[in-house]
Amino acid sequence: MPDHSSMQKSTAHGHTYWVIPDGYIPPDSSGALESHESICVLNTGSEDATLEITIYFEDRDPLEEISAEVPARRTKHIRTASLRSGEEAIPPGVPYAITVSSNVPVIVQYSRLDTTQPELALMSVMGYPLT
């Protein structure tokens, strides 16, 4: 029989700095599903994660100081189209890259649903952790 008291302990896994070099919000959608991207964050620890997200572009200054919270022992899917730095947002159809910095170790995955064609595509990859 498993010891349930040890199952309730929450250990923080992951890293505090992640890089996602390939971002691109598809500008169009077809059918019932909307094209979108998400930063998927898992916080296995017992402390809330405070994230700072930066968006880098090929031809303009980055969008900086974008904050997000992921409660302890929870997951959060953050749609990149919802990210704002002041009044600025990520424009659809423009390549970008993402860095995610966290006060506690987290696990970061990136997903894109591209419905620009009837044969939709779903891509999901792990972010690249840096120490």
For tokens 């390939």, what's the residue?
Answer: 22
127, 18 Cβ separation under 8 angstroms: yes
Residue 86 lies in a domain: yes
Assign 27 a pLDDT band (cuts: 50, 70, 90). confident
- What does pTM read for this prediction? 0.84
SS3 assignment, position 41: strand
3 found inside a domain: no
Question: At 49, is the pLDDT very low, low, confident or very high (cuts 50, 70, 90)?
Answer: very high
pLDDT at 4: 45
Q: Is residue 20 over pLDDT 90?
A: yes
Residues pairing with 23 in the sheet: 96
Query: Could you list the residue range(s) of the whole structural domain that residue 96 is in?
Result: 10-129
Query: Per-residue pLDDT tens for 80-127?
Result: 989 999 999 999 889 999 999 999 999 999 887 665 666 666 677 788
CATH of the domain at 27: 2.60.290.11
pLDDT value at position 127?
86
- Express the helix, strand and coil content of the chain in percent, nearest 5 each: 5, 55, 40
**Residue 16 is assigned to a structural domain of this protein:** yes
Would residue 2 count as lying in a domain?
no
